[in-house]
Amino acid sequence: MPVYEVRFQPDGIRIQVGDNLTILEAAQRAGIVLNSFCGGIGTCRKCLVELPDGPEPLRACQYHIHSNLVVVIPENSRFFEQKILEEGISRAQLLDPLITKYHVKLTAPNLQDLRSDGRRLVDALSPGKIAGPHLISWPLLKKLPCVLRENDYDVTAVCHDQNIIALEPGDTTGRLFGAAVDIGTTTVVASLINLTDGKTVAVASQTNPQVTFGDDVISRIQYCRDNKDGLEILHRRIISGINELLRETCEKSGVEPTQIYELTAAGNATMQHLFLKVPVAQIAQAPYVSAFADAVNVNAAQLGLDIHPEGNIYIMPSVAAHVGGDTVAVTLATAMRHSDKINMALDIGTNGEIVLGSREKLLACSTAAGPAFEGARIRQGMRGAAGAIERVHIHEDVELLVIGGQAPTGICGSGLIDAVAELLIAGVLDNSGRLRNHDELPENINPALRRRLIKFEGNPAFILSFASQTKHGEDILLTQRDIRELQLGKGAIHAGLVTLINHLGIETSNIDRLYLAGAFGNYIRPESARRIGLLPDIELAKIQGVGNAASTGAKEVLLNKQARQHAEQLSREIEYVELASRKEFQEIFTSSMMFPES
């Protein structure tokens, strides 16, 4: 597969991508979140970008990359800026990190001024009566007399909140970096941020190296329970994985690892526990609780992360065992806590986390969506990689969009949702989720569709792609069982949505905006997801993909100390709605498996 380099301006970020990715997808991988109100289907025109020699702005979601490119992103196409403008917070206000640097030229001690080195430094950092950073870490204290004298008292102090954690020769205030890490169960993304201007200077991602010990959270917890050193092994894996990503971002950007003074991390509760080597068994045992929900601060050297040894690691606070720091980060990034309107955020993976509410009250729940949306337990399901059917459109016959533009080999989550929605519209599938028999099909149905409806192992199935057109020479089928699997997943999420809506005492129509977080939100067609009842029945214009919002939240707490307070308040304010114990839930779940009337 050919590889192209895309360079985003004015950020200066370079990324290597494979053939046929859209600019929207490439930007996403580079950690740049563009607006995609329409969910990337090319209708909202909010993701406009420019090519230096192109005639006019083009839609990032519609432009597929087939060569090296330089892409210029106007400020108002950025999701981040958009949100800030909505909340009326200027960029200048946003940039207020807990890590700061101060360049000071101290007067050398003399008979008229015999203050100790430490007090001399602290006093210089507290001009007038304002109390500045004043606690000198012990490791720094051991170097203090020499660093001051070797540099003629001309130094830069690196401070974390009230603590002076390092002292560097001369003026290094221009070099101040932090890292924000999104620890997903499947993928880990690290962004290296310049804390002097808030810009992302490099991004790196990789598959979570714990994947070899289990695809999902539960199997990793099981591994820790079954193996004496399981926790230690999984912990080391994620630490060394993040160290690799940090090294990569440093190499890309020419930043020294010791110039990174803080790292913020967001993940689900299990990922955050494993990151900190905290036992996880209780997360998977009724009644399912976390060891910690408050934010945790740990010394970088102690945790073994390769940033400045006295740097700080901040782990996002969480809400409950299944509503983790990533959900708090998403909620933070969508600024729901500050909105008078009623917003909903939805982050769908193996679990679906849902947050609903406004400034007055926020509710959250987690539903076991199952792996269908990630292509698992679907007969020919696969992840969203080259060869996956990602779009299905039924007009006269079936039209397919395949990732990589090649012959299809299977179907991924967004294709599955599309296929089911289109079959419902075409009348091939009834609202109960049953594929109709030939004699039950609508009379006016196109014969091209009729011949795709077959029997497979005694049950109905629908041929999405005939063997002659697939890569492996076999039909790609959507079986009745696949549809039932999808119904379980979408039923769980819908039941969660309904329960939260009921619990808040509102109607679906009261929801002002639905934020779709994560890769899922970038790839599905919102109208299909709405048609099958995976999303609530609200106007498409109210649905907004917010990209990797967990990463955005982790960046926000890195860039702004007040955002950190907001995250900690969110963690205590968000009311966790436990679904399994609610009597009505099973009932709602059963009805949620049905597809809505058109």
**Interface residues toward its own copies, by CB under 8 A:** 109-111, 114-119, 122, 134, 136, 138, 141-142, 144-146, 149, 276-279, 281-282, 287-294, 296, 298, 302-303, 318, 320-321, 576, 578, 581
Instruction: Considering the complex, state which of residue 221 and residue 593 has its C-beta at the smaller distance from its own copies.
Output: 221
| Minimum CB distance to its own copies, residue 171 (Å) | 23
> What's the sign of the alpha-carbon dihedral 83, 87, 90, 91?
negative
| Minimum CB distance to its own copies, residue 572 (Å) | 8
Instruction: Considering the complex, state which of residue 181 and residue 372 has its C-beta at the smaller distance from its own copies.
Output: 181
Give yes or no for a contact between 71 and 5, defined as CB atoms under 8 angstroms apart: no
Instruction: Considering the complex, state which of residue 284 and residue 426 has its C-beta at the smaller distance from its own copies.
Output: 284
Instruction: Considering the complex, state which of residue 43 and residue 163 has its C-beta at the smaller distance from its own copies.
Output: 163
Give yes or no for a contact between 486 and 411, defined as CB atoms under 8 angstroms apart: no
Strands 543-545 and 388-394: unpaired
Instruction: Considering the complex, state which of residue 287 and residue 447 has its C-beta at the smaller distance from its own copies.
Output: 287
Type of residue numbered 468: S
Task: Name every residue whose Cβ is closer than 8 Å to that of residue 179 and which is 6 or more positions away in sequence.
Answer: 190, 191, 192, 193, 246, 249, 260, 262, 263, 264, 307, 558
| Minimum CB distance to its own copies, residue 591 (Å) | 23
| Minimum CB distance to its own copies, residue 288 (Å) | 7
| Minimum CB distance to its own copies, residue 134 (Å) | 8
Instruction: Considering the complex, state which of residue 297 and residue 591 has its C-beta at the smaller distance from its own copies.
Output: 297
Instruction: Considering the complex, state which of residue 279 and residue 442 has its C-beta at the smaller distance from its own copies.
Output: 279
| Minimum CB distance to its own copies, residue 575 (Å) | 11
Instruction: Considering the complex, state which of residue 117 and residue 262 has its C-beta at the smaller distance from its own copies.
Output: 117
Instruction: Considering the complex, state which of residue 81 and residue 578 has its C-beta at the smaller distance from its own copies.
Output: 578
511-526 exposure pattern, b = at least 16 Cβ within 10 A, e = fewer: bebbbbbbbbbbbbbb
Instruction: Considering the complex, state which of residue 318 and residue 334 has its C-beta at the smaller distance from its own copies.
Output: 318
Type of residue numbered 512: D
| Minimum CB distance to its own copies, residue 238 (Å) | 15
Cβ burial, residue 128 (10 Å; 0-12/13-18/19+): exposed
Identify any residues that bridge with 69 across adjacent strands, giving them in sequence order.
6
Cβ atoms within 10 A of the Cβ of 427, count? 16
Task: Name every residue whose Cβ is closer than 8 Å to that of residue 36 and which is 6 or more positions away in sequence.
Answer: 24, 44, 46, 47, 61, 79, 522, 544, 545, 547
| Minimum CB distance to its own copies, residue 212 (Å) | 24
| Minimum CB distance to its own copies, residue 9 (Å) | 41
Q: Give kind and range of the element (H or E) at residue 252.
A: helix 230-253
Lookup result for tokens 């990732």:
403
Instruction: Considering the complex, state which of residue 281 and residue 541 has its C-beta at the smaller distance from its own copies.
Output: 281
Q: List, as one string, the DSSP characters of 151-182.
A: TTTEEEEEEETTEEEEEEES--TT--EEEEEE
| Minimum CB distance to its own copies, residue 337 (Å) | 19
* Distances 150 to 105, 118, 397 between C-alpha atoms, Å: 13, 16, 78
**CB half-sphere exposure, 454, CA atoms < 13 A:** 15
| Minimum CB distance to its own copies, residue 290 (Å) | 4
Type of residue numbered 17: V
Q: List, as one string, the DSSP characters of 267-308.
A: E-HHHHHHHTT---GGGSSTT---S--S-EEEEHHHHT-SS-
Taking the C-alpha atoms of residue 596 and residue 598, their distance in angstroms, rounded to an integer, is: 6
Give me 35's structure tokens. Answer: 């607006």
Taking the C-alpha atoms of residue 26 and residue 68, their distance in angstroms, rounded to an integer, is: 12
Instruction: Considering the complex, state which of residue 74 and residue 145 has its C-beta at the smaller distance from its own copies.
Output: 145
| Minimum CB distance to its own copies, residue 554 (Å) | 19
